[in-house]
């Protein structure tokens, strides 16, 4: 058996309200401290009889009432039972409780109780005295409880409650008693001796005494007489006695019946017979016969009177009962009508309150809506003013951002120029320091002359691993280390056939040229003929454009900056006095980049140009350089604008690429009449404008 079933406490109660409450209260007090218990209230439901109706006067015949009245009476009785059970449930308070109605037909109550214990598996049963009374007479209630106590299964604990106390059945000297825990008798019941048994015992006792006292009499005649009397009259007396008893004790209860004090009407006469022991049996029989006849006549008269009175009384009681029931029905209907009327009044009042609240809320909503409309108009005006101010602020912000970007570009350019100037100043300082210990050329070209040993030492005797490459081709330039710094040593081609005088003239020309975007000449060596140049860490622009594996790609902003720097150097050469210097080949291979990716031009002043060379050639070279920077490749046989846009992809903004391409095409067509005003300075200005737009 699981834990849930063992925690169920079954309480059997009857129709006695006081006994039921006392029994249930005892069970609640006993198991109140136990957790997880539930109370099951057992209540016997009797199948109603169609022949009789139970009223306040007892059981009355149902043939005198109509079906509607009978149904009303039964419903009223069921309502009383339901109210009683609800009171039992309410008494349990917070402890879980439920009712279990047991239908009973003609089976004895003690047998039905044992069937319930076995069928429901009841382990704890608390039973009150009133549970047995509706089915059997009160004289047998204790006997039924004792029967249940003796025949219950071992797994069931039975608790019998009488008057709110637990009692236990005891059998002493042939009588059943109910005792509490202190041994006090609460109720008792003797095995009642019938009048027939009592009479037989008395007559047999008297017969034995008479035989001992009157030995002279014939024992056969005496015994025959007494047996004949016993045979003829004892049964009749017993029947009369039961009829007399049935008139007053037909429907009894435990509180009214008292079997211990019951005395039959014949008993005094037998006592009188016992006292007069000296009389003969015939005299005794005569006395008994007279008294019996007298009792019989009295019984007949009383029975007739009682019968008439019972009929009258039953009719009167039935009328009173019908009136009382009708009065109760009317009172019940009246109370229900009053209750319904009060409920309707409450509902009407509640609905009126709701309507008033709704009206008030509607008025408040109207006022709130009006205020919200005013607030909406005010906010719309403020929003319009804010939009105007916002547009003004946007315009100002755009101007401020444009000025800021321009200022940042200027700052960047000035920072770059500052770095270049600082490096040049350091270079000049070092050059001035070493000028004291160097041999200066007589024509004062300003260049330091190095010996052959210096050049061999700097280049590790012209080691091949120090030879520099240009586009994967070996050049005649070596990397050297002179005067504690890196330098590029360019060996002059012997095929040029430069004489010593021409070489010195070139040196004088190079010594007078300096510009931040021109590769500086640091010195020379007469034998072998070579120039010591500024070392450019990032090589030529051609190497960077053609090499796809460089860690740092050149952005379109850097490419425009390189073009501007090349234009700056070319403009310086073209404006050189007394005679402009024409480079003729400002290609990506002749543009070197230092450690900071600053562009510088090489190859100027050594190769003399033809007399036909002019500034226009440098302008066309600038246009070609712009195409190189735009596409990233050098072999441009035919200019196809659509192909160029396909090649640049997403590296360039489309509008910037269009402007750079247009500028390159104008530089390459400088001889046209529409481009006569083009100059390197103009190109540099337009590149600066394009750079600003791109930012």
Beta bridge partners of 448: 440, 523
Buried b (16+ CB within 10 A) or exposed e, 183-203: eeebbebeeeeebeeebeeeb
Q: What is the model's pLDDT at position 432?
A: 60
Residue 253, pLDDT above cutoff 70: no
Q: Please state the CATH superfamily assignment of the domain spanning residues 438-535 in this structure.
A: Phosphorylase Kinase; domain 1 (3.30.200.20)
489, 531 Cβ separation under 8 angstroms: yes
Q: What is the DSSP string of 98-134?
A: EEEEEEESSS-HHHHHHHHHHHHT-SEEEEEGGGTTT
Overall size of the chain counted in residues: 695
| Region 195-211 average pLDDT | 43
Q: Can you tell me the distance from the alpha carbon of 482 to that of 380, in angstroms, rounded to the nearest whole number?
A: 77
CATH 3.40.50.620 in the chain is located at 3-190
Q: What is the DSSP letter of 140?
A: G
Residue 444, pLDDT above cutoff 70: no
Model confidence at 30, pLDDT cuts 50, 70, 90, reads confident
List, in sequence order, the alpha helices (H) in 436-515: 452-458, 500-511
For residues 138 and 558, the model is more confident at 558
156, 123 Cβ separation under 8 angstroms: yes
Lowest mean pLDDT among 83-92, 576-585, 614-623: 576-585
| Region 322-351 average pLDDT | 88
The tokens for 206 are 């008297």
Q: Can you tell me the distance from the alpha carbon of 443 to that of 508, in angstroms, rounded to the nearest whole number?
A: 7
Q: Give the residue from 226, 369, 239 showing the smallest Cα distance to 292.
A: 239
Model confidence at 215, pLDDT cuts 50, 70, 90, reads very low
Q: Can you tell me the distance from the alpha carbon of 155 to that of 118, in angstroms, rounded to the nearest whole number?
A: 10
Residue 359, pLDDT above cutoff 90: yes
Residue 524's φ and ψ, nearest 5 degrees, are: -150, 170
Average pLDDT, the chain: 75
563, 691 Cβ separation under 8 angstroms: no
CB atoms within 10 A of CB 255: 9
What's the pLDDT tens digit per position in 92-137? 888 888 888 887 666 788 888 888 888 888 888 998 877 876 544 4
* Residue given tokens 């600066």 in the structure block: 688
Q: Can you tell me the distance from the alpha carbon of 75 to that of 69, in angstroms, rounded to the nearest whole number?
A: 10
Model confidence at 63, pLDDT cuts 50, 70, 90, reads low
Q: What is the model's pLDDT at position 200?
A: 44
Q: What is the model's pLDDT at position 270?
A: 47
| Region 591-604 average pLDDT | 88
Separation of CA 313 from chain center: 75
The tokens for 131 are 């549970």
Q: What is the DSSP string of 393-451?
A: HHHHHHHHHHHHHHHHHHHHHHHHHHHHHHHHHHHHHHHHHHHTTSPBPTT----EE--
Model confidence at 49, pLDDT cuts 50, 70, 90, reads low
Model confidence at 449, pLDDT cuts 50, 70, 90, reads confident
| Region 40-50 average pLDDT | 73
Model confidence at 224, pLDDT cuts 50, 70, 90, reads very low
Residue 48, pLDDT above cutoff 70: no
CATH fold of 540-695 reads: Transferase(Phosphotransferase); domain 1 (1.10.510)
Q: What is the DSSP letter of 653?
A: -
* pTM for the full predicted model: 0.40
Q: What is the DSSP letter of 495?
A: G
Percentage of the chain exceeding pLDDT 90: 15
| Region 446-463 average pLDDT | 86
First to last CA, the chain: 89
CATH 1.10.510.10 in the chain is located at 540-695
Q: Can you tell me the distance from the alpha carbon of 24 to that of 84, in angstroms, rounded to the nearest whole number?
A: 13
The tokens for 190 are 């003797």
Q: What is the DSSP letter of 187?
A: E
CATH fold of 3-190 reads: Rossmann fold (3.40.50)
Q: What is the DSSP letter of 518?
A: B
> Residue 160: which residues within 8 A CB-CB, separation 6 or more?
127, 129, 145, 149, 166, 167, 168, 169, 178
Q: Give the residue from 319, 312, 330 showing the smallest Cα distance to 64.
A: 319
What radius of gyration do the chain's Cα atoms show?
70
Q: What is the model's pLDDT at position 313?
A: 78
Tell me the Ramachandran region of residue 533: left when phi exceeds 0, alpha when psi lies from -120 to 50, beta otherwise.
Answer: beta
Helix, strand, or coil (residue 553): coil
What's the pLDDT tens digit per position in 526-568? 888 888 999 998 888 888 887 754 556 788 899 999 999 999 9
Q: What is the model's pLDDT at position 417?
A: 87
Q: Can you tell me the distance from the alpha carbon of 313 to that of 95, in angstroms, rounded to the nearest whole number?
A: 48
For residues 442 and 178, the model is more confident at 178
């Amino acid at each position: 058996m699981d834990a849930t079933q063992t925690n169920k406490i079954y309480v059997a109660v009857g129709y006695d309200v006081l006994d039921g409450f006392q029994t249930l209260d005892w069970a609640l007090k006993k198991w109140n401290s136990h957790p997880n218990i539930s109370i099951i209230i057992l209540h016997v439901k009797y199948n109603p009889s169609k022949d009789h109706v139970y009223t306040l006067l007892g059981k009355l015949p149902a043939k005198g009432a109509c079906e509607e009245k009978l149904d009303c009476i039964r419903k009223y009785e069921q309502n009383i039972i339901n109210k009683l059970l609800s009171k039992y449930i309410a008494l349990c308070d917070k402890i879980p409780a439920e009712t279990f109605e047991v239908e009973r037909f003609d089976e004895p109550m003690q047998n039905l109780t044992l069937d319930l214990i076995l069928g429901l598996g009841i382990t704890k049963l608390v039973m009150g005295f009133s549970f047995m009374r509706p089915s059997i007479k009160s004289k047998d209630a204790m006997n039924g409880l004792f029967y249940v106590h003796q025949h219950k299964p071992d797994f069931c604990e039975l608790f019998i409650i009488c008057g709110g106390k637990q009692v236990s059945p005891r059998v002493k000297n042939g009588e059943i008693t109910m005792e509490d825990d202190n041994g006090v008798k609460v109720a008792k019941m003797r095995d009642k001796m019938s009048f027939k048994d009592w009479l037989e015992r008395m007559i047999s006792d008297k017969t034995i005494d008479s035989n001992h006292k009157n030995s002279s009499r014939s024992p056969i005649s005496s015994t025959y007489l007494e047996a004949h009397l016993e045979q003829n009259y004892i049964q009749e007396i017993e029947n009369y006695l039961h009829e007399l008893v049935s008139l007053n004790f037909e429907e009894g209860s435990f509180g009214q019946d008292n079997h211990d004090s019951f005395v039959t009407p014949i008993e005094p006469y037998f006592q009188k017979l016992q006292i007069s022991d000296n009389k003969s049996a015939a005299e005794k029989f005569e006395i008994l016969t007279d008294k019996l006849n007298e009792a019989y006549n009295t019984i007949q008269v009383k029975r007739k009177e009682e019968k008439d009175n019972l009929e009258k009384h039953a009719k009167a009681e039935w009328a009173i009962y019908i009136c009382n029931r009708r009065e109760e029905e009317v009172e019940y209907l009246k109370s229900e009508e009053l209750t319904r009327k009060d409920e309707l009044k409450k509902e009407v009042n509640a609905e009126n309150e709701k309507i008033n609240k709704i009206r008030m809320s509607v008025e408040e909503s109207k006022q709130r809506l009006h205020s919200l409309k005013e607030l909406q108009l005010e906010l719309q005006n403020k929003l319009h003013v804010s939009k105007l101010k916002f547009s003004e602020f946007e315009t100002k912000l755009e101007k401020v951002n444009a000025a800021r970007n321009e200022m940042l570009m200027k700052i960047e350019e000035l920072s770059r120029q500052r770095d270049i100037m600082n490096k040049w100043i350091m270079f000049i300082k070092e050059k001035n320091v070493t000028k004291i210990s160097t041999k200066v050329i007589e024509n004062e070209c300003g260049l330091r002359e190095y010996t052959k040993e210096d050049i061999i030492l700097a280049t590790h005797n012209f080691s091949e691993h120090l030879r520099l490459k240009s586009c994967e081709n070996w050049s005649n330039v070596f990397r050297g280390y002179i005067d504690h710094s890196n330098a590029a040593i360019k060996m002059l081609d012997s095929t040029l056939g430069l004489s010593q005088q021409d070489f010195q003239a070139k040196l004088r020309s190079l010594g007078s040229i300096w510009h931040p975007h021109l590769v500086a000449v640091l010195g020379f060596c007469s034998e072998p003929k070579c120039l010591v140049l500024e070392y450019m860490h990032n090589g030529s622009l051609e190497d960077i454009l053609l090499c796809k594996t460089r860690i740092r790609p050149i952005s379109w902003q850097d490419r425009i900056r390189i073009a501007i720097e090349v234009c700056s150097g070319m403009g310086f050469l073209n404006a050189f006095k007394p005679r402009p210097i024409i480079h003729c080949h400002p290609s990506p291979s002749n543009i070197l980049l230092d450690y900071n990716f600053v562009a510088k031009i090489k190859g100027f002043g050594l190769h003399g140009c033809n007399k036909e060379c002019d500034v226009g050639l440098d302008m066309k070279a600038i246009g070609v350089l712009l195409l190189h920077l735009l596409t990233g490749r050098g072999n441009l046989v035919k200019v196809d604008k659509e192909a160029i846009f396909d090649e640049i992809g997403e590296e360039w903004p489309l509008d910037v690429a269009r402007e750079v391409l247009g500028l390159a095409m104008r530089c390459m067509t400088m001889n046209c009449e529409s481009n006569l005003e083009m100059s390197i300075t103009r190109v540099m200005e337009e590149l600066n404008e394009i750079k600003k737009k791109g930012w």
